[in-house]
Structure 1
Amino acid sequence: MLGVLLIGVILIVLVVGIVVSASSDKSVDVEPNSVLHMAFTTPITERTPNNPLAGLSFLGLNSEKSTGLNDILANIKKAKTDSNIKGIFLDESYMTSGQATTEEIRNALIDFKKSHKFVIAYSEVYTQGFYYLASVADKVYMNPKGIFEFTGFSQQVTFLKGALDKLGIEVQIIKVGTYKSAVEPLFLTKMSDPNRLQVTSYLGSLYDHFLTGISKSRGINKDSLFNYANSARVQFPEDALKLKLIDGLKYKDEILDELKTRTGVSKTANVVSVDLDEYTKSKADNADDDASSKKQIAIVYANGEISGGEGDDNSIGSERISKAIRKVRLDNKVKAVVLRVNSPGGSSLASDVIWREVALTKKVKPIIVSMGDYAASGGYYISCAADSIFAEPNTITGSIGIFAILPNMQKLFNDKLGVTFDGVKTGKFADLGDISRPLSPEERAILQNNVNHGYDEFTKAVAAGRGKTQEYINSIGQGRVWTGSQAIKIGLVDRLGNINDAIASAAKKAKLTNYNVVAYPEQKSFLKQLDGDVTNQMKVKMMRSELGDNYRVYEQLKGLTQMVRTPQARLPYDIVIK
């Protein structure tokens, strides 16, 4: 009976998927005098997922909708010259995206304004992320009873040593890099001095860029902005208006009336608007119908943590990404490659596999790296062999270092659980890595030697790719994290710019004027994504329901367990700036 029910559920999902997919392929006609409505209330990914059920709820499971940065940037560029689009309305957004992603959208809006079309922003709650984006608008409005967050940046690290001590788990750390602090939560109860120094440095760089951007767009002195935040001057909407951070306090109906006036629509009619996902399916009224060029620039998207195997759109599998790079390298139609990296790192071995393909590609055609929110540690490793590297000022990069983790769970097993172990081995080191006992000094030396060797290979690769000495790379390495603004000064990055700048650079280096842009790896079909997804969603939903805000700590613990045994080239921690 249960089997029949499951088959029925699967069939229904398939039918719904086919229907939704068929309808999603239909072209959308944009009416004259339209407003492009942009509301970022769902995660922004590198590419819009290939999921026709996105946003739908089925049997209590939600298929979360997300929008790809690729479509957002393409739509803003299209709207700039589309005579049917009169302006952009930024509406009620929470910007669940990294700072570099927000930066790319912000710069696209600045470019859009060159068309002399309007940009209006409105929100009931302005987070610092959304305000940074909205500050480029011609008019920034907020609800008279709304909330305006403007307090500065903070970074918090969760330390787990106390909990591990209570469980009887000793975490044995083998690392290279004074600043390589990914492992600190496992054996410290607070930040080390070197870690505090680097966090203070890069957080200060991010905040300075944040204030500089707002200062330019709003015409307010940067020091004044710093003082507003530092003294909590903005506590009520009236404060934001008085300090000229916004242009007016209005309710939504008043905003809609202004949009009607700007687009020439009658006050008794509705605003003519088109949402981002709909506009993606539209064709601008002035679109070029000319035949496509046979010459191509390939964008290879490398997004997420790095590991061996296939991976998916949100994780970098060395097999999948190296295969994609190899494919475009051998394709004669592809004249240049842009490697889009948005990764905090991961397995050092998997990173090296991808690095090899980048290095081979560089020998036969241009390959340019475009860094997203992160391109750190392993994410920098896979980038360093490229012809040139583009990053946003607020990209997080560097973190050149290696570490390995091996837990000693002897006390947990023996004292807490009453479990003991015994066995036979044919060699002294046959059970190296056994978590039921501590490492011997000789075993620790072996692992340290492996990690040292990994760091040596890492710094050699960076030195060769960047045209620097290994000694210099070691001096700026040591696991230290840098922002894009800092990285360009020390030679880890060549230029500050977005993915379109990287594409233009690749075209110039390949001497192309007419070309198509093609994306790799090929996105999985909806049916392949569905395989196993229902079970995973149920598990995640239950965990989120039970843990609430502590789910982030659970994810951190889960991530740490995946680091065990395999040497890692990974960012110290998740950087969440509120």
Structure 2
Amino acid sequence: MRSFFKYVLATITGIGIVVVILFAILVGMITSAINQVGSSKESAVPSNAVLYVTLDYNIPERSSPNPLEGLNVPGYGEMKTLGLNDILSRIAAAKADSRIKGIYLNPRQVNVGMASLKQIRDALLDFKESGKFVVAYSDMYTQKAYYVASVADSVFIHPEGALEFKGLSASVTFLKEALDKLGVEMQVVKVGTYKSAVEPFLLNEMSPANREQMSSYLESMYEGILSDIAGTRNIASDTLRYVADNYLIRSAEDAVHRKFADGIRYKDEMLTSLRKRLGAEERRELPAVSLLDYTEANSAESSGGRIAVLYAAGDIVDGEGAENTIGGDRFSRELRRLRRDDRVKAVVLRVNSPGGSALASDIIAREVELTKKVKPIVVSMGDYAASGGYYIAALADSIFAERETLTGSIGVFGLIPNLQGLLNNKLGIHIDEVKTGRFSDLLGSPDRPLTAEERAIIQMEVERVYKTFVGKVAKGRGMTAARVDSLGQGRVWTGSQAQAYGLVDEIGGLQRAIQSAASKAKLSNYKVVSYPSVKDPFSSLLGASKEKIKMWMFDDGLAEYRSYIEQLRTVVRSSGIQTRLPYTVEIR
């Protein structure tokens, strides 16, 4: 009886919490709707304004509805997200918008990968071709913030501010000693000298092969960044490298002296100068609209065909997958629909994935190959398109990558934990079983190590998957299997390195890929449509899974820890044979 009342009370409490949250959301939605009555999107932009750009929010591949964003729900009122697709399209729209006279760039923390940041920087360069100005100001420039700010006509810094410029670094967290203390042995089978995704479970430091590949792609990325900054700041790349190597910028004065910045200003002085530039009254607020709020004008409907942009972002997983993963079944179904849709004349597969399930990757790759026989399909790579991410791209008509895209990693591994030490020795838990055959419990007993025969079976399967992977790449890229194997072995390349080796066709962003798809489809007039389709916020809320709601709520307050939690969850759900990028790479 006591248990009965406990469960009843828990149920009532849970229902009450849900009702309160839903009521707060409903009130917020109604309030938002009321605030919009009588005002048009056009009137939100002053007639003589600057576009205010910060980039200090979450930047996924594309925007998706979050009904909790902007609502005054205690603890969840500050969540801000804007997709890379909207950032690029809004900057492009502002270029032609007569109301926008320039961009006020105020970067500090930039929450996006280097390849995506390169696309944003290129969009700002394109904006400048209109003759409109771009000015940058911040009290603290991180390296990513300065990289994007260096595109500005003028860069200003707070008198007590700082500008970080010290070169790139990347680190790997190793878990072997911790696992040893817990009594957990990670049993690994793999193919690929450079397939280092398993190293954090087996070593306490990088292997020589992994250190070599990381140094190689980090240096390739660094050279590109230095070249870009040199081009816009008129400082030689060798000088930039010298400044970074010796850490010569330690104050705002140093930044100006080394020509990284054009002047030192307080925030009020910066705003005053912008008001004067716009001809605005000194006592009035700066006429500005945030990139988050800026709405581009609706473009006229195209009478031509459609180019479908299919966004594939996240880990590649078996089955349907979640919104932030690439489910093999879900994405193969999307490709079939696009292939059979006569309105769609070409497909651009936008890949931003470190890989995942080998089976799901093969399922999607098959649909890419079938689509290629019916209509053009072009791949555009984001920050990552490695291992399984490259697997699903290899059979397309052509592949575009950013210079900084991490790609390749053509290799395969399997990870089987042996929990005998933890269960038996640490927790006193023992498992006993009966079976009808020698291999009935293959991969089914967590409290014992693999036998030599079992390990040999799994190794053969991993090698078979690797051979299939190499064969798909060879077919798609017009190479011999031996050549692909020499470029594979799990090695990670930057986009520029991959292009030199024939794994990528051209360096360029999503827009270049769309233009290429249009050319292949012989389209001069077309409409770009994004897939999978995005639901409206209310429908998204009603159909939201428990995982999705937790993700929305996690975005606020705990966002800085999210990547670490996701890494742990990835390890837990990485069953079966994997084609995955070596660990999570964060460039600083």
Shorter-chain TM band: over 0.9
Equivalent residue in structure 2 for 1:27, among 38, 41, 50: 41
Aligned-pair distance for 1:14? 4.6
- Distance in structure 1 (CA, Å) of the matches to 2:71 and 2:543: 15
1:330 and 2:345 are equivalent in the alignment: no
Give the alignment of 1:51-450 within 5 angstroms: 51-61=66-76, 64-280=79-295, 282-283=296-297, 289=300, 291-433=301-443, 434-450=445-461
- Distance in structure 1 (CA, Å) of the matches to 2:279 and 2:407: 47
1:492 and 2:529 are equivalent in the alignment: no
- Distance in structure 1 (CA, Å) of the matches to 2:78 and 2:335: 30
Equivalent residue in structure 2 for 1:457, among 448, 454, 468: 468
- Distance in structure 1 (CA, Å) of the matches to 2:473 and 2:447: 37
1:526 and 2:540 are equivalent in the alignment: yes
**2:3 is matched with which residue?**
none
Aligned-pair distance for 1:421? 2.1
- Distance in structure 2 (CA, Å) of the matches to 1:186 and 1:5: 43
- Distance in structure 2 (CA, Å) of the matches to 1:436 and 1:566: 18
Amino acid at match of 1:450: E
**Cα deviation code 1:456-478 (max 9, x no counterpart):** 00000000000111110000000
Aligned-pair distance for 1:486? 0.3
Structure 1's 336 and 476: CA in aligned 2 closer, same or farther, altered over 3 A?
same
Q: Could you say what the CA RMSD is over the residues aligned between the two structures, in angstroms?
A: 2.1
- Distance in structure 1 (CA, Å) of the matches to 2:15 and 2:578: 45
Structure 1's 91 and 194: CA in aligned 2 closer, same or farther, altered over 3 A?
same
Amino acid at match of 2:468: E
Amino acid at match of 1:126: Y
- Distance in structure 2 (CA, Å) of the matches to 1:172 and 1:297: 45
Q: Is residue 61–residue 537 contact of structure 1 (8 Å, CA) maintained in 2?
A: no
Equivalent residue in structure 2 for 1:478, among 467, 472, 489: 489
- Distance in structure 2 (CA, Å) of the matches to 1:537 and 1:50: 12
Q: Is residue 328–residue 360 contact of structure 2 (8 Å, CA) maintained in 1?
A: yes
Structure 1's 136 and 288: CA in aligned 2 closer, same or farther, altered over 3 A?
same
- Distance in structure 1 (CA, Å) of the matches to 2:496 and 2:131: 30
- Percent of counterpart pairs with the same letter? 50
**Cα deviation code 1:299-330 (max 9, x no counterpart):** 00001111023334422112222222111111
Q: Is residue 68–residue 76 contact of structure 2 (8 Å, CA) maintained in 1?
A: no
Aligned-pair distance for 1:24? 7.0
Structure 2 SS opposite 1:277: coil
> Bigger shift: 30-39 or 423-432?
30-39
Structure 1's 558 and 89: CA in aligned 2 closer, same or farther, altered over 3 A?
same
Aligned-pair distance for 1:443? 0.3
Give the number of aligned pairs: 569
- Distance in structure 1 (CA, Å) of the matches to 2:36 and 2:369: 39
Amino acid at match of 2:418: N
Amino acid at match of 2:82: T
Amino acid at match of 1:213: D
Amino acid at match of 1:148: L
Aligned-pair distance for 1:553? 4.6
Q: Is residue 21–residue 52 contact of structure 1 (8 Å, CA) maintained in 2?
A: no
- Distance in structure 2 (CA, Å) of the matches to 1:382 and 1:51: 29
Structure 2 alignment gaps of length 5 or more: 1-11
Structure 2 SS opposite 1:45: coil
- Distance in structure 2 (CA, Å) of the matches to 1:255 and 1:90: 11
Aligned-pair distance for 1:2? 2.8
Structure 1 SS opposite 2:447: coil
Give the alignment of 1:508-527 within 5 angstroms: 508-524=519-535, 525-527=539-541
- Distance in structure 1 (CA, Å) of the matches to 2:70 and 2:20: 18
Q: Is residue 76–residue 556 contact of structure 2 (8 Å, CA) maintained in 1?
A: no
Q: Is residue 295–residue 514 contact of structure 1 (8 Å, CA) maintained in 2?
A: yes
Amino acid at match of 2:92: K
Aligned-pair distance for 1:515? 0.7
Amino acid at match of 1:327: R
- Distance in structure 2 (CA, Å) of the matches to 1:333 and 1:21: 36
Structure 1's 174 and 471: CA in aligned 2 closer, same or farther, altered over 3 A?
same
Amino acid at match of 2:69: A
Give the TM-score, by structure 1 length: 0.94
Amino acid at match of 1:480: R
Aligned-pair distance for 1:403? 0.3
- Distance in structure 2 (CA, Å) of the matches to 1:321 and 1:19: 35
Aligned-pair distance for 1:34? 1.1
Structure 1 SS opposite 2:168: coil
Aligned-pair distance for 1:28? 3.6
Structure 1's 24 and 514: CA in aligned 2 closer, same or farther, altered over 3 A?
farther
**Cα deviation code 1:314-365 (max 9, x no counterpart):** 2211222222211111100100010000001111111111111111100000
Q: Is residue 107–residue 149 contact of structure 2 (8 Å, CA) maintained in 1?
A: no
Give the alignment of 1:557-576 within 5 angstroms: 557-563=568-574, 565-576=575-586
**2:5 is matched with which residue?**
none
Q: Is residue 92–residue 124 contact of structure 1 (8 Å, CA) maintained in 2?
A: no
Q: Is residue 391–residue 473 contact of structure 2 (8 Å, CA) maintained in 1?
A: yes
Q: Is residue 158–residue 553 contact of structure 1 (8 Å, CA) maintained in 2?
A: no
Structure 2 SS opposite 1:44: coil
Q: Is residue 120–residue 138 contact of structure 1 (8 Å, CA) maintained in 2?
A: yes
Structure 1 SS opposite 2:225: helix
- Distance in structure 1 (CA, Å) of the matches to 2:180 and 2:431: 21
**Cα deviation code 1:140-171 (max 9, x no counterpart):** 11111012111111111111000111111111
